[in-house]
Amino acid sequence: MAQVKVYSTPTCPYCIRAKKYLSDKGIAFENIDVSADEEALKQMVDVSGQMGVPVLVIDGDVIVGFDQSRIDQKLGF
């Protein structure tokens, strides 16, 4: 099972879609709300080098934005 982290904010439509997409595919993930956790925001900026959400980390690989084809590729769909 892939280790999946989603850095997101509660309002961001692409975050909502990314999380829904993972749920629909039956993928368990850790959701990190960076609007509520400044340390997590710093961590997200460190791993992705930018501030846009969502950021997905799948088995250590960083995907910026809701990039469905890259998510599919990483998860083997």
Partner 1 sequence: MLDLVIIGAGPAGITAAIYAARKKIDFILVSKDLGGQTALSADVENYTGYQFIAGPDLVAKFEEHMRQFAITFHNGEAVTRIVQKPGSGFVVESGKNSYACRSVLIASGRRPRWLGVPGEEKYRNKGVSYCATCDGPLFSKKTVAVIGGGNSALDAALQMIAIAEKVYLVDINPALGGDEVMRRKVETSPKVEVLNNAKTLAITGERFVKAMKIDVSGQARELAVSGIFVEIGSTPNSDIADFVDRNASGEIVVDCLNRTSARGVFAAGDVTTVPEKQIIVAAGEGAKAVLGVSRYLVQEK
What residue ranges bind partner 1 (CB under 8 A)?
Answer: 9-17, 20, 34-35, 38, 41, 45, 49-53, 64, 67-69
* Closest approach of partner 1 to the CB of residue 1, in Å: 24
Q: Tell me whether residue 1 or residue 11 sits nearer to partner 1 (CB atom).
A: 11
| Contact between residue 69 and residue 32 where contact means Cβ atoms under 8 Å apart | no
Residue 13 CB, nearest distance to partner 1 (Å)?
Answer: 5
CA distances from 46 to 18, 43, 55 (A): 21, 5, 11
Q: How far is the CB of 43 from partner 1 (least distance, A)?
A: 13
CA distances for 49 relative to 17, 23, 40, 55, angstroms: 22, 26, 13, 10
